Amino acid sequence: MLALILLTEWSLFIKNTGPLQFYIQAGAYSFPTLAAAIPSSTSNINDFGAMPVAYLKYAPSSDYSVEVGKLPTLIGAEGGFTYQNINIARGLLWDVEPIVSRGVQFNASKGPISASVSLNDGYYSNRYNVMSGLLSYAINGSNTVSFYAEGPLGKVRQPFTAAAYSPTGTSSAIYGVEYVYSAGPWMIEPYMQYMHTPKSIRLSIPHAFSNYGASVLANYSFTNTVSLAGRVEYLGVGGKPGEMLNSTSVASTLTDLPADSHAWSITLTPTYQDGGFFARADLSYVAASAPAGLGLSGGTNTTQLRGMLETGFMF
């Protein structure tokens, strides 16, 4: 499979000075993810709207701030949108994480320590009973370690309407640890993640199950314009075949992998950037071990080879 993505429809409105600030991101976008079919911009806009991220920020000092609105998640090492990441397609671990949540977020920093805590609606459920947090410690100018966690504060109930809602995701607890090394031409970021979903008859989850995985992301800059990024990862998916499957025969785990399966992936992304112009290519491979007759994205294939091209201008 070869896909071409053109990032030419983003508009950013930012005020990042003074005590009252704002951030608005609008446009057409897609969330290409390994082991999943490439979604259309229309389907993603139906989920999160043409303005997926928009929030007000009150920052009375450089050490403290409060944000309210549609906020990017604190969970995971990869951002929601392609231009935020060293690879075009997001990885297997990203697929289980929330992307955008509505709520309020408190940020604070003191010396090498920074922390953020958010009360939000998790996987865009429109029910504000999820707490998430991120704690980072800058060991020195080149090394940083971070911990993140998210989980519901009470029982999750199916809302009447919420296009991007996942009862499985919002009812789950997710934990992770990241380490970032950045010096000279190198950026290396390993992280590990664990997600547990409790049994819930109300949400049609007959058994508790867990997902767990690890990933290493790396980027090497050969020159000021040419770099090569890579990602290697592993994901294990819990559940029982025949009991944890939804109507499309995909495990109710947000992973696009069947229950009781394991998968690993490798991605390489050479990038050229000169001023505001950039062009890059993704070559990725996914291999899964799954119960008989089951595969990726509700099909029977247990491998995926994908090539992608992305180009655009960043100002």
Q: How far apart are CA 19 and CA 186, in angstroms?
A: 35
The per-residue pLDDT for range 53-62, each reduced to its tens digit, is 999 999 999 9
Q: How far apart are CA 216 and CA 230, in angstroms?
A: 8
Task: Name the residue with higher pLDDT: 200 or 134.
Answer: 134
Could you give the maximum distance between any two Cα atoms of the chain, in Å?
59
Q: Given a cut of 80, is residue 51 above it in pLDDT?
A: yes
| Residue 179 near residue 186, CB atoms below 8 Å | no
pLDDT band at 251 (very low <50, low <70, confident <90, very high): very low
Relative to beta strand 173-183, strand 186-197 is antiparallel
Residue 153: DSSP 8-state: S
Closest CA to 24 of 76, 75, 73, 69: 69
Backbone angles phi, psi at 296, to 5 degrees: -75, 140
The pLDDT, as a whole number, for residue 202 is 76
Averaged confidence pLDDT in the chain: 87
Q: Given a cut of 70, is residue 46 above it in pLDDT?
A: yes
Q: How far apart are CA 82 and CA 254, in angstroms?
A: 19
3-state secondary structure 241-277: CCCCECCCCCECCCCCCCCCEEEEEEEEEEEEEECCE
The domain limits of the chain are 2-313
pLDDT band at 313 (very low <50, low <70, confident <90, very high): confident
Q: How far apart are CA 77 and CA 191, in angstroms?
A: 7
The pLDDT, as a whole number, for residue 252 is 47
The pLDDT, as a whole number, for residue 276 is 84
Q: What CATH homologous superfamily does 2-313 map to?
A: Porin (2.40.160.10)
Q: Given a cut of 90, is residue 244 above it in pLDDT?
A: no
| Residue 102 near residue 130, CB atoms below 8 Å | no
Q: How far apart are CA 283 and CA 217, in angstroms?
A: 14
Burial class (CB in 10 A: 0-12, 13-18, 19+), 261: buried
Output the six-digit token pair for 4: 């071409």
Q: Given a cut of 50, is residue 247 above it in pLDDT?
A: no
Q: Given a cut of 70, is residue 245 above it in pLDDT?
A: no
pLDDT band at 241 (very low <50, low <70, confident <90, very high): low
Please state the rounded mean pLDDT for residues 229-241: 88
**Which residue type, as a one-letter code, is found at position 168?**
T
Backbone angles phi, psi at 276, to 5 degrees: -85, -15
Please state the rounded mean pLDDT for residues 106-129: 94
Residue 252 vs residues 9, 46, 117: alpha-carbon distances, Å = 32, 21, 27
Please state the rounded mean pLDDT for residues 105-118: 98
Give the whole-number percent of the chain exceeding pLDDT 90: 57
Q: Given a cut of 80, is residue 240 above it in pLDDT?
A: no
Q: Which long-range contacts (CB under 8 A, 24 or more apart) does 10-15 make?
A: 10/83
